[in-house]
């Protein structure tokens, strides 16, 4: 029989095993969270320029346009075909409209029977055609090539837009990250001020209302921190969406709102920037390609008035039975000259002329728009850089004001209302400084987009 003391020790051991085993089992069952994906600004630009769905779709449209060029070129290349047939038929000789009769050697005449057949006919044939002169098809090939150039330029427009969206999403996310850091610093200062107010009250040099004010300020700072963290999480989702990633992908941003964030290979001189934009903007190249395609299409329609020369031929064997089939061939040079098609050609020409004039109007307006976008981006960049200088000075003065107010409160020569006011001013100054850095980065990105070099952002 087990003694009472041994039973107690056994129960204690079992309880210890259960207590220690449960956390171990929970740890073993809990899945390991994947490490966050470290993402730099340059990585985001690279992914947005080549690995997102909108760019993939634009690439497919470019492939479709290249395929249409090959389709148009097929009209100028040889056409080859091989065919074979077996025919078993009967026909009515009277249906030919001729009364077939022929004299017999012994006298008299004979006529073909009304029903002829059935009989078999076998035919195997190799056919070929080749256009010798078809200027309209040549022009259509050139028009299709211009349309393919436009499709490639449209892909460039898509890439630039994708990079812009990803870059702005990244900058907004790192701005939210900076705001979280600022709110954490605000919460730390607020907690320190609560401790200082409680110490001052314990020493009998400060009323209880100072502790209440400090606690209220701490609660406000913690609330703002929660809002900032939510904005950061939303920013991560926006970045994953801009890059075509799973929204649940954990991200860690390796860049911050540094002065170099959003830089690109672009001049800040107005004339150089405008000239670079006119040379690089893919939307302008796309419009020029559309105008070229309209001109080539109009030329192709005009060339339809010219003769078309074609060589055609075939070679094969045919006969009533396969063993007795004989070789036959034909070769022909065909010329076709269009004369009148009900004035449909003239209407198509009028349509292409209108399309060309419309494209020219859009191109002229787009050139003015490009210059305006460059000017606006340069103005925003200059303003943002000036705002940064003012914001840094405001932040320095706000930090100095808070330090002085805290020293006065410690010395007991003032209440903490001045400290609370100074801390509120510091929060505003931090937000202003972050907003100024964010505005500068956004202006640099906008300038790169306006000059058509968003893909060079780094």
Average pLDDT over residues 33-57: 87
- pLDDT of 15 reads 42
446 burial type by CB count under 10 A (0-12 exposed, 13-18 middle, 19+ buried): buried
Is residue 426 domain-resident? Answer: yes
Q: How confident is the model at residue 130 (pLDDT cuts 50, 70, 90)?
A: very high
Is residue 9 domain-resident? Answer: no
Average pLDDT over residues 300-311: 92
Nearest to 446 by CA among 365, 354, 374, 345: 374
346 burial type by CB count under 10 A (0-12 exposed, 13-18 middle, 19+ buried): exposed
CA dihedral 74, 80, 85, 91 (to 10 degrees): 70
- pLDDT of 358 reads 94
Residue 212's Cα: distance from chain center in Å? 53
Per residue in 332-363, pLDDT (tens digit) is 999 999 888 888 889 999 999 999 999 999 99
- pLDDT of 31 reads 55
Note if the bond before 383 is cis, omega within 30 degrees. Answer: no
Q: How confident is the model at residue 268 (pLDDT cuts 50, 70, 90)?
A: confident
Is residue 68 domain-resident? Answer: yes
Structure tokens at 425: 């001013």
- pLDDT of 149 reads 92
Q: What is the rounded average pLDDT for all residues in the chain? A: 86
Is residue 332 domain-resident? Answer: no
| C-alpha to C-alpha distance for 164 and 117, rounded to whole angstroms | 77
Cα separations (Å) of 287 from 73, 121, 353, 358? 24, 59, 15, 10
Q: Which residue range forms the structural domain that includes residue 402?
A: 36-77+134-304+345-456
Average pLDDT over residues 272-283: 92
Nearest to 388 by CA among 377, 400, 380, 378: 380
| C-alpha to C-alpha distance for 41 and 43, rounded to whole angstroms | 5
Beta-bridged to residue 308, according to DSSP, are 336
Nearest to 242 by CA among 51, 103, 457, 38: 51
Angle between helices 135-202 and 344-411 (to 10 degrees): 10
- pLDDT of 132 reads 92
Is residue 224 domain-resident? Answer: yes
CA dihedral 282, 284, 288, 289 (to 10 degrees): 20
CATH at 250: 1.20.1600.10
What is the count of structural domains for the chain? 1
- pLDDT of 273 reads 92
Structure tokens at 157: 């427009």
- Choose the weakest-confidence range: 30-34, 135-139, 165-169: 30-34
123: enclosing H helix or E strand = strand 115-133
Is residue 377 domain-resident? Answer: yes
- Choose the weakest-confidence range: 10-19, 150-159, 395-404: 10-19
Per-residue pLDDT for 170 more than 90? Answer: yes
Is residue 110 domain-resident? Answer: no
| C-alpha to C-alpha distance for 272 and 250, rounded to whole angstroms | 41
Q: How confident is the model at residue 33 (pLDDT cuts 50, 70, 90)?
A: low
Per-residue pLDDT for 150 more than 50? Answer: yes
In residues, how long is the chain? 458
Pairwise pLDDT comparison (113 vs 76), residue with the higher score? 76
Per residue in 217-267, pLDDT (tens digit) is 889 889 999 999 999 999 999 999 999 998 888 999 998 888 888 888 888
The pTM of the full predicted model, rounded to 2 decimals, is 0.79
**Do residues 283 and 289 make contact, with C-beta atoms less than 8 angstroms apart?**
no
Per-residue pLDDT for 100 more than 80? Answer: no
- pLDDT of 444 reads 93
Angle CA 273–276–278, to nearest 5 = 110
Per-residue pLDDT for 379 more than 90? Answer: yes
Beta-bridged to residue 336, according to DSSP, are 308
Is residue 18 domain-resident? Answer: no
């Amino acid at each position: 029989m087990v003694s009472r003391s041994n039973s107690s020790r056994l129960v204690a051991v079992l309880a210890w095993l259960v207590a220690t085993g449960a956390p171990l089992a929970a740890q073993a069952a809990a899945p390991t969270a994947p490490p966050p994906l470290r993402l730099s600004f340059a990585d985001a630009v690279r992914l947005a320029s080549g690995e997102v769905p909108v760019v993939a779709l634009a690439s497919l449209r470019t492939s479709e346009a290249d395929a249409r060029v090959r389709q148009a070129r097929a009209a100028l290349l040889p056409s080859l075909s091989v065919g074979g047939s077996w025919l078993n038929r009967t026909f009515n000789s009277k249906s030919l409209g001729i009364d077939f009769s022929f004299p017999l050697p012994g006298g008299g005449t004979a006529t073909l029977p009304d029903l002829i057949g059935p009989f078999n006919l076998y035919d195997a044939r190799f056919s070929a055609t080749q256009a010798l002169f078809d200027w309209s098809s040549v022009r259509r090939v050139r028009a299709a090539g211009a349309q393919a150039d436009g499709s490639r330029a449209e892909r460039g427009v898509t890439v630039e837009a994708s990079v812009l969206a990803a870059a702005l999403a990244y900058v907004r996310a790192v701005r939210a990250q900076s705001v979280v850091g600022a709110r954490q610093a605000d919460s730390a200062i607020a907690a320190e001020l609560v401790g200082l107010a409680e110490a001052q009250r314990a020493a009998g040099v400060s009323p209880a209302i100072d502790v209440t004010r400090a606690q209220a300020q701490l609660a406000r700072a913690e609330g703002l921190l929660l809002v900032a963290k939510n904005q950061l999480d939303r920013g991560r989702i926006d970045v994953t969406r801009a890059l075509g990633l799973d929204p649940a992908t954990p991200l860690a941003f390796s860049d911050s709102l540094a002065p170099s964030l959003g830089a690109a290979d672009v001049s800040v001189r107005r004339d150089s920037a405008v000239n670079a934009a006119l040379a690089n903007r893919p939307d302008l190249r796309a419009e020029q390609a559309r105008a070229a395609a309209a001109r080539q299409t109009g030329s192709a329609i005009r060339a339809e008035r010219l003769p078309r020369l074609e060589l055609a031929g075939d070679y094969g064997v045919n006969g009533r039975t396969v063993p007795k089939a004989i070789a036959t061939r034909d070769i022909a040079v065909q010329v076709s000259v269009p004369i009148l098609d009900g004035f449909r050609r003239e209407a198509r020409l009028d349509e292409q002329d209108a399309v060309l004039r419309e494209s020219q109007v859009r191109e002229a307006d787009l050139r003015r728009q490009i210059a305006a976008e460059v000017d606006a981006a340069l103005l925003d960049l200059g303003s943002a850089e000036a705002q940064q200088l003012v914001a840094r000075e405001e932040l320095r003065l706000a930090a100095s004001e808070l330090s002085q107010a805290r020293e006065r409160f410690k010395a007991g020569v003032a209440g903490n209302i001045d400290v609370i006011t100074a801390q509120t001013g510091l929060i505003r100054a931090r937000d202003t400084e972050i907003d100024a850095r964010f505005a500068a980065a956004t202006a640099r990105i906008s300038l790169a987009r306006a000059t058509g070099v968003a893909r060079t952002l780094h």
